[in-house]
Structure 1
Amino acid sequence: MAQFDEEFDFVVVGSGGGSMCAALVMRQVGKSVLILEKTDLVGGTTAKSGGVMWIPNNPFMEQEGIEDSPEKALEYLEATAGQSQDAPGTSRERRAAYVTQARRMVDFLIAQGIKLTRAPYWPDYYDERPGGSAAGRTVLAEPFNLNELGRWKRKLRPNFIPVVAAPEEMGAVMSARTRRRFGIAIAKLLLRIGKERLTGRNIVGNGAALQGRMLQAALKAKVDIRTKSPVKDLVVENGAVKGVVVDKHGREYRIGARLGVLVNAGGFAQNQAMRDKYAPGTSVKYTAAAPGDTGEMIETMIRLGAAFGQMSERVGLQASLVPGNENLDGNGIDLKKISGQGSVSAPHAIIVDQTGVRYMNEAGSYMAFCRNQLIRNHTVPAVPSWWIFDQWHFDRYPLFGIAGMGARPKRWFSSGLVKKADTIEGLAALINVDPATLRATIDRFNLGAREGRDPDFHRGERAYDNWLGDPTQEGSKTLGPIDTAPFYAVPMYPGDVGTYGGVVTDVNARVLREDGTPIPGLYATGTSTASVMGTAYPGAGSSVGPSFVWGYVAAKHAADADNLLVAA
């Protein structure tokens, strides 16, 4: 029989989305829980992220009279995730379980006092498909006063937005399409921040708000959370997982888990060797994942006999590395410094490959954008691709987030990151593209854009495209001709916010062997698993949402708590 230095009912490896949700389930039914985080900060990539969850048929939609149902949501998942090929993480059974359990998970969190709400308008990424929702199914946390965490506030991983802003405030900033409107939005934000600081409050939004609230609830529920506690191995006895081995000050420390171990340790976005093996052509240089996202727990479970899949998939994010940020410290590359998502989908801009040919709908989801780029690169050089725009676009929209609406740093130009020319032909020469090809590409795009249409890739024909565009523009919200000199080009790479493949789990979040049988005592969630969404990303929060849902499901199953939980 295994000998342990310490024992708990349930042990969770990693502190990202879903970990504290699982812990709250266990504490609700009187079980002891330990969360082990290998870095010095809790919250994982979820804390850095937008912190939203894709939750179909959620209670906030119901309250606002927005049509949705389990049947409609499942129809949409069949039209997106269900179309995946070679994706063992998804099946109709698991997709149906997700739809059912997602609502229950949110009801449970609300009952625990977690303040959640609905994004006012955030369309599904394929809202034109059967079951799609133009209103959106995205749930997020209400803004949170970080000071409520006391000494723990310094242990929460910072969010990607450098200012403490609520979602609606950042929405106002990012949607400001003139310098005057941008200045007003920033002034209001800074005024609010100043007032909050004077009153001793420190309001955060996005993933910091979600994980801040979850951390607060977990601490209140007396969940044991330990940082700097890397798990080195799983303890197995008679084929069942009985605990973990932790590196404690350089020695092995064995912790027992009477009801099971939940692995929520992230994917392998920060592990170049695993990337080269499973997702060749991608790089750690362009990831926004937390630094602990190094994949060793996935490898540990695989060695134990776990089935795995979807390892080539990532939650892509179009990226361009701003000079001066190439070698950041242990916190990794910050999302705001590399993302170009909002800008490439705005009017008067396109993406072309290295031959000067346009090859995608630039207003598609970030995951689709990067997949298209990598697929294109198999036959035509497309990494990096070129983001082409004109002076009209430059004067109105941000480059690399909100920084672009102010004075553009001179190093962006002096370093050659942003290239500028008075003519299309001159720009082509700067990026080593055939001038005639780039001219023909832009002329073809402009012909349709002036009429508000895109016959090649149908940009602007769905709600999501237009939501990413410019709401103040008459006619098409995302199209506009590239015809106002001078012209600009910026390299775009297939970045990511994390990987999307891992071990295969069942409807109870149990890790499965290759023969389909579960490994007793072993559960997994988050990007340590092959996503229930397959190779698709149905809407905002399609990574964070499943992490929470399967963490909730795993804890319920391990505690046999289906009939014991208090749900709203």
Structure 2
Amino acid sequence: MHRNLASLEPGAAYDLVVLGAGGAGMAAALFAALDGLRVLLVERTEFLGGTTAFSAATTWIPNTQHAGEGDSPAQAARFLDATVGNHAPAALRRAFLEAGPQAIARLEAETEVHFRARPLHPDYLQEAEGAVLRGRALEPLPFDGRRLGALFPLLRPPIPEFTILGGMMVDRDDIGHLLGLRRSWRSARHALGLLARHAADRLRHPRGTRLVMGNALVGRLLASLAQRGVDILTEAKTEEILRTAGRVSGLVIAQGALRRQVAARRGVVLATGGFGRHPARRAAMLHAPTPEYSPAAPGHTGEMHDLALAIGARYGQGGLDNAFWAPVSVRRRADGSTAVFPHFVLDRGKPGTVAVNAAGRRFVNEATSYHLFARAMFASHETVPTIPCFLIADAVALRRYGLGMVRPGGRGLAPFLADGYLVQGATLAELAGRLGVAAAGLAETVAAMNRYAASGEDPEFGRGSTAYHRANGDPAQAPNPNLGPIATAPFFAVRLLPGDIGAATGLVTDAQAQVLDEANRPIGGLYAVGNDMHSIMGGTYPGPGITIGPGITFGYLAARHAAQVAQA
């Protein structure tokens, strides 16, 4: 199962070699194993899971067995046509919509990978024709990491700032129960059960073994791979793609000083996470100023793209953007490492908050998707300094919802204030001075936000006008769950920067995930999935989980095609 390169026999041969052990790569390897292929999964870092392990692992696939009523393949197609349009080929969208439900059904019937749909998880672009409120966004069921045995340490740990009590993972339901611990017997029972489990875990493990969100999906995939005897290499780098008669036939893999040729009888799947940390392409393909920070996992160096491009692969064109984005805040941890915290849904759309640029003015609907929020930062920065921008909250909002790495409750602020992550002012004018923001502009902006909170309408940007906005607000806040007064001193702020969370531009493929050359012909034996594949969303971000859903689906299609080649 978990091998080192020296343990592979000379001239080792596999049916399929998958490069990259994020969600898409692990899924491709699993589907291939289900089809009876001998599979090698190669990961260049010490951990399995990639950015999927850091994420909520929301998996956007319409019309699975979890969809319920109110959706159809035609409706989902209309939604993608409206939101993606000509930014990506329609044929790939159709392949995704057809094969996605098949992929999920097979996982749930034959493996440990299981999902559920949340009661309310809206598409982001609710204004588009075909949008729905629920059923397309799946989440993995929690998983007991103890079932992995000796493989558990291979699992990439979650971002520490998304855990509590030294490594206890929590999901959105757990957070609600923990915050309601003293108000509800049901919440108290749930929270106390979590704490007891975590206390027992820490007697035997360096972190919690109750896995949720991204760690749950990766843990389930890993358990399934182990059951089917898939070989896994970690800390292994691919140095060369080998070809025979124009077809990809193997690889040269290095681990430390050792190098070994490995044959891939039916092909190689690229699932290495995209170009994001490739130094030259990062500067050339991302917006200016080139973002310094990314909350994604560290393995996506883009080196495999260099090798693929050298044998005729090409990048897709016509996308709205080359990357997917989120606003992030940054803080140095006690061990000297840098925490890059993505501001997805926990604070930006909550009542009592506002985001401003250096002029003290709003530039975006704070409750919009993280992708559109960060894109708005770049657009505004062309005329007014907006990188960084500032997310501001009054004392009530900070206490109720937290702010970035500052958790709800309003306690323990001293370290955040001391290192400058959190900035505080007794008045708005004092806060503006400490941030270097125009005080008059900030005062006018907050006065306007207070009027909008009273009326329930935001005439500037429409905050709280869609079901997606409202789902991330506070249902107890009336008349608009996203708008509340910014009036209770002291006032607080964190600095936000745009951070890339994954590549949107990747290698051009066909509907079977085969990589295509300049003449639009398949490069035999070479597949690309996940962020190595040019996104079927074309750089748009219409709903939650639009990277993992297609990653799993095209992993399924690539494995199926490779298995059919084997049969032929």
- How far did 1:19 drift? 2.0
Q: Aligned equivalents of 2:470 and 2:258: distance in 1? A: 55
Q: Aligned equivalents of 1:418 and 1:53: distance in 2? A: 33
1:15 to 21, 33, 36: 21
- Say which is worse superposed, 462-471 or 295-304, in terms of deviation: 295-304
Contact 2:89 2:536 in 1 (8 A): yes
Deviations 1:101-133 (A, max 9, x none): 111110110111322222232111112311001
- How far did 1:489 drift? 2.2
The match for 2:420 is 416
The reply to whether residue 77 of structure 1 matches residue 80 of structure 2 is yes
Q: Spell out the pairing of 1:314-325 with structure 2 (5 A cutoff).
A: 314-324=323-333
- How far did 1:509 drift? 0.5
Output the TM-score relative to the length of structure 2.
Answer: 0.90
Instruction: Evaluate the alpha carbon distance shift between residue 191 and residue 110 of structure 1 in structure 2; reply closer, same or farther with a 3 A threshold.
Output: closer
Contact 2:314 2:507 in 1 (8 A): yes
Q: Aligned equivalents of 1:196 and 1:45: distance in 2? A: 24
Q: Which blocks of at least 5 consecutive residues in structure 2 are unaligned?
A: 1-9
Q: Aligned equivalents of 2:108 and 2:390: distance in 1? A: 45
Q: Aligned equivalents of 1:409 and 1:269: distance in 2? A: 34
Q: Aligned equivalents of 2:405 and 2:135: distance in 1? A: 23
Contact 2:320 2:539 in 1 (8 A): no
2:196 to 194, 197, 222: 194
Please tell me the residue identity of whatever aligns with 1:537.
Answer: Y
Q: Aligned equivalents of 1:454 and 1:182: distance in 2? A: 34
Q: Aligned equivalents of 1:107 and 1:339: distance in 2? A: 32
- How far did 1:168 drift? 5.2
- Seq. identity, %: 33
Instruction: Evaluate the alpha carbon distance shift between residue 158 and residue 284 of structure 1 in structure 2; reply closer, same or farther with a 3 A threshold.
Output: farther
Please tell me the residue identity of whatever aligns with 1:399.
Answer: L
1:290 to 286, 293, 297: 297
2:510 to 475, 493, 506: 506
- 1:356 alignment partner, SS class: coil
Deviations 1:308-351 (A, max 9, x none): 135953232211112436942xxxx556x453642121011111
- 1:413 alignment partner, SS class: helix
- 1:523 alignment partner, SS class: strand
- 1:286 alignment partner, SS class: coil
Q: Spell out the pairing of 1:357-372 with structure 2 (5 A cutoff).
A: 357-372=361-376
Q: Spell out the pairing of 1:408-557 with structure 2 (5 A cutoff).
A: 408-557=412-561
Q: Aligned equivalents of 1:171 and 1:119: distance in 2? A: 15
- How far did 1:552 drift? 0.6
- 1:344 alignment partner, SS class: coil
Output the TM-score relative to the length of structure 1.
Answer: 0.90
Contact 2:118 2:134 in 1 (8 A): no
- 2:403 alignment partner, SS class: coil
Q: Which blocks of at least 5 consecutive residues in structure 1 are unaligned?
A: 85-89
Q: Spell out the pairing of 1:78-477 with structure 2 (5 A cutoff).
A: 78-82=81-85, 84=87, 90-113=88-111, 114-160=113-159, 161-162=162-163, 163-165=167-169, 167=171, 169-172=173-176, 176=179, 188-195=190-197, 198=200, 202-281=209-288, 285-309=292-316, 310=319, 313-324=322-333, 327-328=336-337, 337=341, 339=343, 341-401=345-405, 403-405=407-409, 407-477=411-481
Contact 1:305 1:514 in 2 (8 A): yes
Deviations 1:34-92 (A, max 9, x none): 10111111111112211120010121123xxx3111101111111112263xxxxx211
Please tell me the residue identity of whatever aligns with 1:346.
Answer: K
Q: Aligned equivalents of 2:109 and 2:186: distance in 1? A: 38
Contact 1:269 1:284 in 2 (8 A): no
- How far did 1:484 drift? 2.3
Contact 2:182 2:188 in 1 (8 A): no
- Say which is worse superposed, 108-117 or 8-17, in terms of deviation: 108-117
Please tell me the residue identity of whatever aligns with 1:540.
Answer: P
- 1:321 alignment partner, SS class: strand
- How far did 1:247 drift? 0.6
Instruction: Evaluate the alpha carbon distance shift between residue 562 and residue 445 of structure 1 in structure 2; reply closer, same or farther with a 3 A threshold.
Output: farther
- How far did 1:283 drift? 5.8
Instruction: Evaluate the alpha carbon distance shift between residue 54 and residue 422 of structure 1 in structure 2; reply closer, same or farther with a 3 A threshold.
Output: same
- How far did 1:493 drift? 0.7
Contact 1:270 1:284 in 2 (8 A): no
Q: Aligned equivalents of 2:210 and 2:420: distance in 1? A: 37
Q: Aligned equivalents of 1:322 and 1:187: distance in 2? A: 34
Q: Aligned equivalents of 1:109 and 1:334: distance in 2? A: 34
Q: Aligned equivalents of 2:183 and 2:89: distance in 1? A: 47
Please tell me the residue identity of whatever aligns with 2:387.
Answer: V
Please tell me the residue identity of whatever aligns with 2:322.
Answer: E
Q: Aligned equivalents of 2:252 and 2:132: distance in 1? A: 45
Q: Aligned equivalents of 1:486 and 1:346: distance in 2? A: 18
Instruction: Evaluate the alpha carbon distance shift between residue 14 and residue 340 of structure 1 in structure 2; reply closer, same or farther with a 3 A threshold.
Output: closer
- 1:60 alignment partner, SS class: coil
Contact 1:283 1:495 in 2 (8 A): no
Instruction: Evaluate the alpha carbon distance shift between residue 282 and residue 532 of structure 1 in structure 2; reply closer, same or farther with a 3 A threshold.
Output: farther
Deviations 1:502-538 (A, max 9, x none): 2111111011122322211110011112211111112
- Say which is worse superposed, 337-346 or 380-389, in terms of deviation: 337-346
Contact 2:266 2:566 in 1 (8 A): no
- How far did 1:465 drift? 0.4
Please tell me the residue identity of whatever aligns with 1:446.
Answer: N
Instruction: Evaluate the alpha carbon distance shift between residue 130 and residue 281 of structure 1 in structure 2; reply closer, same or farther with a 3 A threshold.
Output: same
Q: Aligned equivalents of 1:501 and 1:169: distance in 2? A: 34
Instruction: Evaluate the alpha carbon distance shift between residue 327 and residue 537 of structure 1 in structure 2; reply closer, same or farther with a 3 A threshold.
Output: farther
Deviations 1:447-475 (A, max 9, x none): 22210011111111111101111122232
- 1:403 alignment partner, SS class: coil
- Say which is worse superposed, 414-423 or 4-13, in terms of deviation: 414-423
Contact 2:529 2:555 in 1 (8 A): yes
Please tell me the residue identity of whatever aligns with 2:288.
Answer: G
Contact 1:264 1:525 in 2 (8 A): yes
- How far did 1:99 drift? 0.8
Instruction: Evaluate the alpha carbon distance shift between residue 311 and residue 303 of structure 1 in structure 2; reply closer, same or farther with a 3 A threshold.
Output: farther
